[in-house]
Amino acid sequence: MRNRPRVHDGAEYLRLVAPQERCPFCSERLTICETQERYVQTLRKLIHVVSKGKRCDEPACGHDALRYRSPEVGRLVLKAHEFGRDVVIWCGDQYIREQVSTPRIHKRLVTEFRVPISERSVGNQVEDYVALCECVAGDTGRLRERLRRQGGIVLCVDGVHFDEASPVLYVQRDAISNEVLYAERRLARRKEDLVPMLRRSAELAAEIGVPILGIVSDKERSLVPAIAEVFAGIPHQYCQTHFLGNVVKPLKEDDQELARGAKETVLELRKLQRTIERRFPEVVVGPCAGEVTGQIDDAAGTRAHAEATLAEARVAAALVRAGTTAGVVSGRPITDPPGYKRVQRLHEVRAAVEQAAKKKGLQRTAGH
């Protein structure tokens, strides 16, 4: 059985799907073949990352062993790590540039950033940072052989920094294998400074004889023209997460207002749920209709009337529970805002209530 990650309350949900739609070798549509879940702790928040990988299922293609994954996963966290890249860079920068000791770094992480981390793990982050800054993974025989077998490279280039004063760590990574090729710190970020860095990946691809299938990056002012010069004629795609994040910004306030309205509805529904449970304890216990006795039977007068009343109470309780669930469920950012999702599901519950009321012959009360 596959081990599932532990559930952490308050984690932000992030679903990432490989952006490739078709196989670069045979042009057939790719299908989702794997789901990977993990919790990533950044300097600001805990994120529940669910990534969907794809592959080509066309037998004649012969590349069914390749896995296509979202480049945003590698941008957020290093392979097999639980702390985000911003934590790694911050720890390394404090230790090397600021000459801060490991215990002091650990204390600042816990007190200032509220990051749950041990002192030993802080030392691991520093070691990872040093390895990134001296990264020569592209020169190893193991990685070269892997890139040669997969037949191509989808290069992701991104600069990571936590403030405007520190040097930026630029990481070049292959999205297919999820392996880091090169990483360099750059204090100067002009086009002329980034071109030599990018040429390392171009030269690596030429040496091992595999094509660079595409480039993924953000719209950094100097990075875009540097990529155009080094990788002329190769498809260049901007980061979809950045784009969608910018698109959704104007809707954020309205979505929060919808979420507040849904929360008020849930509070009213919970009051109604408590009322139903007090008047009809059998709804909570859940006996069969033939076992109904006692208070409801005496109040209704006849057994048939009691059974009908209890059945209606169960339907009402089920609708109330559906409403409370619909009002708290979250959507999937960025394209499915949580507030809108809650209101949308509450409307579906309301439609079910109105349909039940019509069958019963009841009139809808204004405002309800």
| Residue pointed to by tokens 């596959």 | 2
What's the confidence (pLDDT) of residue 235? Answer: 92
User: φ, ψ for residue 167 (rounded to 5)?
Assistant: -60, 150
The residue type of 36 is: Q
Q: What's the pLDDT tens digit per position in 38-73?
A: 999 999 899 999 999 999 998 888 888 888 888 888
Confidence (pLDDT) at 155: 93
> Is pLDDT at 5 greater than 60 in this prediction?
no
d(CA 78, CA 149): 23
pLDDT at position 342, please?
81
At 367 the pLDDT is 45
pLDDT (average), residues 103-115: 92
- Which of 197 and 363 is assigned the larger pLDDT? 197
Tell me the C-alpha distance between 288 and 296, whole Å.
14
SS3 label, residue 327: coil
Give the residue from 179, 280, 160 showing the smallest Cα distance to 220. 160
One-letter amino acid identity for 343? V
Q: What is the pLDDT of residues 110-155, one digit of tens each?
A: 999 999 999 999 999 998 888 777 665 555 788 888 899 988 999 9
Of residues 268 and 136, more confidence is placed in 268
pLDDT single digits (tens) 274-305? 888 888 877 665 444 444 444 444 544 567 77
Helix (H) or strand (E) holding 59: none
pLDDT at 364 over 60: no
Task: Tell me the pLDDT tens digit for each residue of 327-361.
Answer: 776 666 666 677 777 888 888 888 888 887 777 76
